[in-house]
Amino acid sequence: MALMIIAEKPAAALKIAIALAEGKIEKKSYKGVRYYKITRGGKEIYIVSAVGHLFGLKEDAKGWIYPVFEISWKPIYTISKNAKFTKPYFELIKNLSKNIEEFYNGCDLDIEGELIFKNILNFICKRNDARRMRFSTLTKSELIKAFENSSEHIDFGLAEAGETRHFLDHYYGITLTRALTLAIKSAGMFKILSTGRVQGPTLKILAKREKEIMNFKPKPFWQIEIITGNLSAWHKKDKFWNVEEAEEVIKKIRGKKAVIKNVTRKEYLVPPPNPFDLTTLQIEAYKAFKITPKETLSIAQNLYTNSYISYPRTSSNILPSTINFKRILAALAAKSEYSEFANKLLGEKYIKPNNGKKKDPAHPAIYPTEEPPKELKGNELKVYDLIVRRFLSTFYEAAKRERQIVEIEIGGESFIVKGSRTIDEGWLKVYKRYLKTEEIELPQFKEGQTIEVGKINLHERETQPPKRYTPASIIKELEKRSLGTKATRSEILDNLFKRDYLKDTAIRVTNLGLKTVEVLEKFCPAVLDEELTRKFERELEEIREGKKKKEEVLNEAIEVLKKIASQFKENEKKIGEELIKAYKETMEKETIIGKCKCGGNLKIIYSKKTKKYFIACTNYPKCKINFSLPRGLPKPTGEVCQYCGYPLVIVIRKGKRPWKICINPECESKKK
């Protein structure tokens, strides 16, 4: 009899086979699916893989009805045509499992990995328990340790929490999506709209910010600046809300001597950053490279699968002392770009990372492994470098900075000039390429010193509306509010964009998004209830800890959704009519690019015949003006061409950078 290790992905299965084999690896194939046979400790071991989830939830009843609570696990290839490729993985595990004595869970150590394995074990292998390999990297040393020290049982609490989450999300997803879609259908149009357990509250947060921006009334204020040499000093009061008051101050100081009243120089320490958890990695990658949170997670997952970094789906910013830091540093020292920093740390007797306080029961913070890549390119290289430099900087000493404040008095009025400089770089030397540190060193002023005033400027400004969320800052906001999970937040945001609720990187909520929130608040506010969503998240954690049962949480969700469904059905046509109106207005705004010379609107139109987009006037057939467009998805920019004044559109092409073009074929920009 033999053992079987089931990995979550094919690349992980190969890594496990290479790590554990004590002799030759037998590479085998079943209908194009690779698996491996090795020996270790005199035992035969088969190493196979899933390709993510091999099972999905499907409702037992047929037809587009809601609410839906009768659902069960089915092989995912029977649910979706797009999942047909999973069938040979399913069959391979089924065939091999007949002669297996003991099973090992080699899937990722998280809520999804445990559920993926448990479903395979229960429904394909017809077993109830297995051993659990626990690892945070796919390096040889850690995989051997994980196999030899495997626990006797899988984590049933983790698996049940995962199953409960899937049931909850399926209940909500199907019920609410069908309720919205059927409401629109009842009003005479078919358009799939969706919302969900976390999607609804997320859209509400974004819609609230959008309304704050829309309703914002700017308030004018004035600031007084004096120029002395190469320095600018600003009135201590900062904002004057009355222009007459500001002008009186200028009259008072004009022609008067400027005297240094006070000089303050204060040194302070800037501690090194905490190690990366997934959210802070996503935020930093967006800030440094404008890589979206979803893409950052995808890149980090690839780096993990290739053994270059530890498991990225972690909420911990703590690196435990059990990690062999010296071995990792020795590997990084062999790479020229990190050798200076790694060798410095290797030369120290004792090193300790500046750990944070966020914990994850399964995984430590993200860190590079002792198997650095030989070559990376593009965004993978950028994200890897960011992770390595963050890791190295956590071991460095604090940076020493100096803050300088000089108070200047003119005619009894005080002006302030500020400066700052780095005295000792410390960890900044490693990480400074990803930080913006202000370096303004002021002259060595002395109290009582007289200085010349070159110019006096009165600046008129306005208060600014709240900043728009970016893909990174909304992820941070969701974490702060305990909505969603570290692994799902970027996917939730992506779905809101796909449903035309959101647009742009400085996130704007479309008219459809705003109206959807308005309609849901009016007819069924529970869909948008943050506290209800947080409550379910807490209960999932209690299931994981064995304090609560799956049935208890699901029964509670069923009662909530029954009430929501009832509210929808009572107001189905009203909801549909309001949403159709909002959808049409949104699509109109998304396709109008500017005014035509005849007074009509120039609109983006899709031709079913040519399967291409083009631009035509809304006054057709009276006005026959039209413009062709290159292949891709065109969007209005609201901008006009600097050369000819025609509207500009942006064309989005798969796998390529967005392309901003003028619609005028005779434009000078095209000749250039």
Q: Is 472 exposed, middle or buried (0-12, 13-18, 19+ CB in 10 A)?
A: buried
Q: DSSP string covering 434-459, please? A: G-----BPPP---TT-EE---EEEEE
**368 and 277 in contact (C-beta within 8 Å)?**
no
Q: Determine the angle formed by the axes of helices 550-570 and 530-544, rounding to 10 degrees.
A: 160
User: 70 in helix, strand or coil?
Assistant: coil
Residue the block writes with tokens 């270790």 = 40
Q: Give 231's strand partners.
A: 228
| Catalytic annotation present for 30 | no
Residues 6+ apart with CB under 8 A from 55: 73, 74, 75, 76, 119, 120, 123
Query: Alpha-carbon torsion 539, 542, 547, 550, what sign?
Result: positive
Neighbours of 222 (CB within 10 A): 20
Q: How far apart are CA 391 and CA 584, in angstroms?
A: 50
Spell out where 32-99 has E strands: 33-40, 43-49, 55-59, 71-75
With helix as H, strand as E and coil as C, how does 174-241 read? HHHHHHHHHHHHHCCCCCCCCCCCCHHHHHHHHHHHHHHHHCCCCCEEEEEEEEECCEEEEECCCCEC
Contacts 24+ apart (CB under 8 A), 543-548: 543/157, 543/160, 543/161, 543/164, 544/111, 544/157, 544/158, 544/160, 544/161, 545/157, 546/157
User: 462 in helix, strand or coil?
Assistant: strand
* Alpha carbon separation from 670 to 8, 643, 644, 661, 663 (Å, rounded): 50, 10, 11, 9, 10
**128 and 121 in contact (C-beta within 8 Å)?**
yes
Q: Is the N-terminal amide bond of 621 cis, ω within 30° of 0?
A: yes
* Alpha carbon separation from 378 to 198, 262, 583, 628 (Å, rounded): 33, 50, 38, 33
CA dihedral 300, 301, 304, 310 (to 10 degrees): 70
Q: Which of 46, 286, 311, 367 is catalytic?
A: 311
- Chain-centroid distance, C-alpha 479: 11
Q: How far apart are CA 471 and CA 202, in angstroms?
A: 12
Q: Is 441 exposed, middle or buried (0-12, 13-18, 19+ CB in 10 A)?
A: exposed
Question: Containing H/E element for 257?
Answer: none
Instruction: Please choose, from the candidates 47, 129, 131, the residue with its C-alpha nearest in 3D space to the C-alpha of residue 96.
Output: 47
User: 43 in helix, strand or coil?
Assistant: strand
**300 and 385 in contact (C-beta within 8 Å)?**
no
Q: Determine the angle formed by the axes of helices 293-305 and 489-498, rounding to 10 degrees.
A: 130
Instruction: Please choose, from the candidates 661, 657, 609, the residue with its C-alpha nearest in 3D space to the C-alpha of residue 634.
Output: 661
- The conformation of residue 151, written as its DSSP 8-state character, comes to B
Q: Could you give the residue numbers annotated as active site? A: 311
